Amino acid sequence: MTAECTALLAGLARQLPALHALYRDLHTHPELSHQEFRTAGIVAARLRQQGWAVTEGVGGTGVVGVLASGDGPVVLLRADMDALPVREATGLPYASTRTAVDADGAEVPVMHACGHDVHVTCLLGATALLAANRHAWRGTVVAVFQPAEEVGGAPAMIEDGFAERFPHPDVCLAQHVAPAPAGLVATRPGSVMGASDSLAVRLHGRGGHGSTPAATVDPVVMAAATVMRLQTVVAREVSADQAAVVTVGSLHAGARENVIPDTADLRINIRSATPAVRRRLLEAVERTVRAEATASSAPKEPETTVLSSFPVTVNDPEATAAVRHRFRTVFGPGHVIDLPRPLTGSEDFGAFGTLLGAPSVYWTFGGLDPAAFSGVDLLEDGIPPETPHNHSPLFAPLPDPTIELGVRYLLVASTPWLAPPTA
């Protein structure tokens, strides 16, 4: 390990028991997007205890901490805080049993099924070491605890005057725990995560009695045909060498088995790896929805509402090379993977770099037991399908060693900018 990394990481071992306790607490008390009030309060209190200048309520529930140690570059470090409407099935002693009311007024189970509790814990561990070891770095760190990842949290913080209220970053850094062996970290220059577009579509029919369907226009059948037809968009309109996904994650219509309703509602998520594919997918989805409505003699045109939309996450090549070099130097080249292609998942972290005009670097790191991947070539075979992925009710990163490694990744990635000048 380099001397600057050793100095910056001093005291990490002493922090780990408290960080593990924090992680268990956050996992037990997840909060939905834009509802991260308890989590934000914990973050703000801990940052203040560490000596950071803290601003709360940024973009809703976002928290920003600023800490300077002499003159030097400004590094933005981001963690996301929100959980998902998923009922936990891990069986962990600290599993969530929480429910909450979502934006549509429905009571839903809540779980940290994407690992954002890991991210918050790791960044708070990193901020504690940055505060305790200010002799080991030079510059300014902006620690961003973001609400509502994938559903507008990053743009909301930017729109809340982020550029005017906080130091302008020279680089933006973020990470995400993944269903891969603990000890592996992966990144790539250029496109690293896909674009994401989420749409709400209302199909209009003409309701009536279930016994006389000829007197109706059945939106349930219309919705079913639309869902099936949408499955052909990627299969038949996108080249096999391009990454794309179209998912209908929600379909709701009616309340009684013998009543044909007036409307059916779909929620559609579209992932794409390039702007050209993104445009093609959006056009194809809109065309398909309208065509199925026409084929069903719908009395009204479908209504489409954009729920969220953000572009491809792009890693700056030069900054990524610097981070990757530090990872290989500190953790060993066998623990650093070069992703051969962009991931199909999406991430709104890129909004910080794009809207603030700063280079950004994003990486993923493993959080599962390496023994579960014995004999698996991840680059060749991919992650085994039976492995619980992010958003699964069974997704449960191992606190040890994932939290320690996550703290190390954040701080090691920062050293190309924060390392003090040599004598």
Give Cβ neighbours of residue 201 (< 8 Å, ≥ 6 apart). 226, 265, 266, 267, 268, 289, 302, 303, 304, 305
CB 248 within 8 A of CB 257: no
CB 151 within 8 A of CB 107: no
CB 252 within 8 A of CB 263: no
d(CA 207, CA 401): 56
DSSP-derived pairing of the beta strands 263-272 and 190-204: antiparallel
* Active-site position among 4, 36, 149, 348: 149
Torsion of CA 19, 20, 23, 29, to 10 degrees: -120
- In the residue annotation, 149 being an active-site residue is answered as yes
Nearest-CA neighbor of 190 among 76, 321, 74?
321
CB 95 within 8 A of CB 25: no
Nearest-CA neighbor of 416 among 343, 361, 351?
361
368 phi and psi angles, rounded to 5 deg: -115, 170
d(CA 275, CA 111): 32
Maximal CA-CA distance, the chain: 87
DSSP-derived pairing of the beta strands 99-101 and 74-80: unpaired
Find the DSSP H helices in 142-244: 153-159, 162-165, 219-237
Buried b / exposed e over 384-397, threshold 16 CB at 10 Å, is eeebbebebbebbb
Give Cβ neighbours of residue 36 (< 8 Å, ≥ 6 apart). 61, 81, 82, 147, 148
- In the residue annotation, 286 being an active-site residue is answered as no
Q: How far is CA 109 from CA 29, 89, 91, 267, 331, in A?
A: 11, 11, 15, 19, 38
* Active-site position among 82, 117, 150, 292: 82
Which residues are identified as catalytic?
82, 149
